[in-house]
Amino acid sequence: MAKYHRRFGALHKTLKDTNYSATSGAAGEYLNYLKGTNKLVVARKPDSKYLVRFNVGIIPFDIEPDTTAGVINAYQGSMTVIGDIVRKTFDTTLTDAVLGIERDLTKTKEIPGFYPALAHVVIIRTDAVKSKKTSGITKRDYKAFPTRSGGVPYGRTITTVKDPKGAAITDISKESEEDSRAAIMTAVKGITAGSFKCIGVSFTPELHPEAGFFGVAKPTGTTVPTDVPTG
C-alpha cells in the first residue's frame, strides 16, 4: 500500500486533510480503491505460455566470487518466457554476457530462496500510437502507449561494464550492482531493434534467504581487507 501512497501522494494528502470523507472526484475514487471497491485490471495480460518460468544462472552481487579453478559461483534464478523474448529482441546489445546470464545449469548451483536482481525492460512497437485509457484507481482518462515488458535477471559480469570513472572493469569481484545497472541502461534504454523500441528500464535488487547466512564465518587470511576503501 505504501507504494501507492507515494505514487498518489497529493490524493492521499487530500483524503487525510478531509478525514477520509471524500465521496466524489479523483480523491473519492482513490478512497474507493483503498476500500477495495475500485480494482486494478491488468490490460493485455499475456497468455499463460508467456509466463512460464525456467532457470538461468547469475553470479550474485552480495556474494564474493571464488576465483579457484572449477568453482561454481552462479546461483540459479527464474526467468519468464516473455522476459527472454524481450531480451532477445535486443540481442545485439542486451546480450547474455552483458547481463551475466549462464544458461548451462550444470555450471550453476541451487540456493533455495534466492531471487536474482531483475531488469524490468519496457518496450513499444515503433509504430505505436497513444490510445485513451481510464485509470482503475482514479477513473481519470489518460493516453498511453500499449507497452510490453519483461523481467530479465542480471548478475556480476565484466562484459562492457565500466566503473563510475568510465574505466573498463576487468576484475569481476570489483563489479557492483550499480555498475551492471549502468551497463544495462546503456545497452537497451532508448535503443530501437527491428520493430521495437525500449522506452524504459527499472530494477529490483537481488534477495537472499536469511537461512543462507547462518553459520558463515568471517574469512581469514592476507587477502581479507582491514582498512577503509580508498577513492
Q: Give the 3-state secondary structure of 155-218.
A: CCCCCCCECCCCCECCCHHHCCHHHHHHHHHHHHCCCEECCEEEEEEEEECCECCHHHHCCCCC
Between the alpha carbon of residue 214 and those of residues 123, 208, 210, 211, 218, the distances in Å are 41, 12, 7, 6, 12
Helices (H) and strands (E) in the chain, counts: 6, 9
pLDDT of residue 187: 96
pTM value? Answer: 0.74
Total length of the chain: 231
Q: Which three three-digit cell numbers place residue 139? A: 477513473
Q: Which residue has the cell 592476507?
A: 222
**Where in the chain are the domains?**
2-35, 48-208
- The residue ranges of the chain whose pLDDT is under 70 are 1-7, 40-43, 135-139, 142, 210-219, 224-231
pLDDT of residue 167: 92
pLDDT by residue (tens digit) across 89-141? Answer: 999 999 999 999 999 999 999 998 899 999 999 999 999 888 787 766 666 77
pLDDT of residue 2: 42
pLDDT by residue (tens digit) across 42-55? Answer: 667 788 888 889 99
